[in-house]
Amino acid sequence: MPLKLVPSKPEDVPLMVETYFEAFSQDPIHQRFAPKGTQSAHDFWTQALTAEIRDKNNFFLSVWDDTAIPEAFVGFAKWIAPGASPEPVPAVDQWPSEGDQEFSAFFFGRLGDMHHEAMGERPHWYLELLAVKPQYQGKGAASLMLRYGVDKADEDKVECFLDASPKGQPIYERYGFRVVQSDTFLDGTYVQCAMVRDARA
């Protein structure tokens, strides 16, 4: 299936928000913090992505299906360049009001801690988010967006870092990522992993 990888544009944000909710509709963590179909979750992601896509340290990628008529949006990813800091974890009352705000602040705060524990101050490319529409999963879109970041890291001779859900971990392992830390959530039913890809000489 011919898929096209291009830099995302601000006008892609509504498509990115729609894709996020489709991609994570079955994920219990994402449904807890940003329930699909709620206005507060939709507004949260629209505002966040609109601001983040304008930051020169954030590399947003979009994948399109050229064979669809009209051309179809497939998925997107956000890579953060070495030396840049991820956005700070929002305060409890800044998370979607129709989700579990206290859990959201705790979960993403813990991910931030794991990121810092794994990488410290070492420069690295950070894959913060990757989402592909369900009907396109397994067809190469994620690989296009992953390859972009790991190639950048190889050019810069630095590591890569990402957080992996249970569903995503096997995909990332194929690109050389390894688990360096993990934690469990939702009464031990959900494992989130911090994964690192070593720098290539």
Residue 1 pLDDT > 70, yes or no?
Answer: no
- Report the share of the chain in percent with pLDDT over 70: 100
DSSP-derived 3-state class of residue 69: coil
pLDDT digits (tens, 9 = 90+) for 124-144: 999 999 999 999 999 999 999
Q: Which of 83, 107, 142, 84 is nearest to 34 (CA)?
A: 107
For the chain, the average pLDDT equals: 95
3-156 CATH fold = Aminopeptidase (3.40.630)
Do residues 76 and 19 lie in contact, with contact meaning Cβ atoms separated by under 8 Å? yes
pLDDT digits (tens, 9 = 90+) for 72-94: 999 999 999 999 988 889 999 99
- Compute the distance between CA of residue 104 and CA of residue 166 in angstroms, rounded to an integer: 18
- Compute the distance between CA of residue 62 and CA of residue 9 in angstroms, rounded to an integer: 8
pLDDT at position 86 is 84
Hey, what's the torsion of the CAs at 47, 48, 54, 58, to 10 degrees? -170
b/e sequence 141-171, b meaning 16+ C-beta within 10 Å: bbbbbbebbbebbeeeebbbbbbbeeebbeb
In which residue are the tokens 């070492």 written? 122
pLDDT digits (tens, 9 = 90+) for 144-187: 999 999 999 999 999 999 999 877 889 999 999 999 999 999 99
Residue 53 pLDDT > 90, yes or no?
Answer: yes
Residue 12 pLDDT > 90, yes or no?
Answer: yes
Residue 118 pLDDT > 70, yes or no?
Answer: yes
pLDDT at position 96 is 97
pLDDT at position 105 is 96
Joined together, the tokens standing for residue 104 give 């959201």
Residue 104 pLDDT > 70, yes or no?
Answer: yes
Largest CA distance in the chain: 47
pLDDT at position 87 is 84
**Residue 197 forms beta bridges with which residues?**
160
Residue 115 pLDDT > 70, yes or no?
Answer: yes
